[in-house]
């Protein structure tokens, strides 16, 4: 089975449309998976929810989705993110609200030997980041599958564990297909569709082939200016528009 895995679209409809087109028409994946943060930062929360809901078989919630539902403490959010949360809360239709509310925090695909979670497998609702090898080791001990797909940091990355030895593979643009090794386990970050933060403004998305056990993280451009204009016209913080052009 070939899976198209994407996340952190953050209400950026322009980016989402292009990534879905790439995954379904160009890559012809068999199944779409979204790792959360459908809303927050961007100007089209309801439109993005409708599109994700319509096209994507498996969807889990991210911290910004929970923030929009008032389900998580946003004191640690920066002022721009907070502003975007309040703006998003005002925009959400009842239907969108109910949909976000229905999303689980993690899913396990036992037959295919992988799981998905927005932040970390050990404690999904804490929305932690994996910063160090030590933290990665801890996370590997908290799930049993061979692979765990995550989002959250907006930085595509493949973390490999070989007998508890941690190896970090950067997934920059143009990185080839990565063959997952038989004796290793993996935590794979799919990057961000709607607000990349690895200094590459192009949207990131991931293709996982569970038969061949290969992973590829790809990038695509989209109409950044249109997404920026919508953010500014909506009265959202200008910085949220600016950063789309730089990818930081």
| Contact set with Zn ion (CB under 5 A) | 8, 37
**Nearest approach, Cβ of residue 119 and Zn ion (Å):** 9
Please, which residue, 128 or 167, has the CB nearer to Zn ion? Answer: 128
- What distance in Å separates the CA atoms of residue 29 and residue 159, rounded to the nearest whole number? 23
Please, which residue, 37 or 198, has the CB nearer to Zn ion? Answer: 37
Of 75, 74, 58, 57, the closest CA to residue 66 belongs to 74
In the complex, which residue's CB is closest to Zn ion?
Answer: 37
Q: At what angle do helices 79-91 and 45-55 cross, to 10 degrees?
A: 70
- What distance in Å separates the CA atoms of residue 157 and residue 81, rounded to the nearest whole number? 24
Q: Tokens 């703006």 identify what position?
A: 87
Please, which residue, 194 or 210, has the CB nearer to Zn ion? Answer: 194
- Sheet hosting strand 2-6, strand order edge to edge: 58-59, 31-34, 2-6, 203-209, 214-220, 178-179
- Sheet hosting strand 185-189, strand order edge to edge: 106-109, 114-117, 147-150, 185-189, 157-162, 165-170
**Nearest approach, Cβ of residue 17 and Zn ion (Å):** 18
**Nearest approach, Cβ of residue 174 and Zn ion (Å):** 24
**Nearest approach, Cβ of residue 154 and Zn ion (Å):** 6
**Nearest approach, Cβ of residue 206 and Zn ion (Å):** 15
Q: Are 209 and 4 in contact (CB under 8 A)?
A: no
Torsions phi, psi for 169 (to 5 deg): -110, 115
Please, which residue, 63 or 96, has the CB nearer to Zn ion? Answer: 63
DSSP per residue, 198-243: SS--SEEEEEEETTTTEEEEEEE---HHHHHHHHHHTT--HHHHHH
Please, which residue, 37 or 139, has the CB nearer to Zn ion? Answer: 37
**Nearest approach, Cβ of residue 77 and Zn ion (Å):** 11
Please, which residue, 4 or 40, has the CB nearer to Zn ion? Answer: 40
């Amino acid at each position: 089975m070939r899976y198209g895995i994407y996340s952190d679209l953050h209400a950026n409809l322009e980016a989402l449309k292009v990534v879905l087109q790439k995954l379904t028409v160009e890559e012809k994946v068999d199944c779409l998976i979204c790792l959360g943060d459908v809303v927050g930062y961007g100007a089209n929360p309801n439109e993005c929810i409708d599109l994700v809901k319509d096209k994507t078989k498996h969807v889990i919630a991210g911290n910004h989705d929970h923030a929009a539902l008032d389900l998580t403490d946003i004191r640690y959010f920066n002022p721009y993110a907070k502003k975007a949360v309040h703006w998003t809360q005002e925009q959400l239709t009842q239907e969108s609200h109910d949909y976000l509310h229905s999303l689980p925090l993690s899913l396990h695909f036992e037959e295919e030997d992988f799981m998905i979670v927005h932040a970390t497998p050990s404690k999904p609702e804490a929305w932690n980041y994996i910063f160090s090898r030590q933290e990665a080791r801890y996370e590997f001990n908290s799930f049993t599958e061979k692979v765990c797909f995550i989002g959250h940091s907006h930085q595509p990355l493949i973390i490999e564990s070989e007998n508890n030895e941690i190896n970090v593979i950067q997934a920059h643009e143009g990185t080839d297909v990565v063959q997952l090794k038989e004796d290793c386990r993996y935590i794979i970050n799919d990057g961000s569709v709607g607000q990349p933060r690895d200094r590459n403004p192009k949207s990131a998305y991931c293709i996982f082939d569970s038969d061949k056990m290969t992973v590829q993280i790809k990038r695509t451009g989209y109409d950044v200016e249109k997404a920026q204009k919508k953010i500014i016209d909506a009265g959202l913080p200008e910085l949220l528009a600016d950063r789309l052009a730089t990818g930081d």
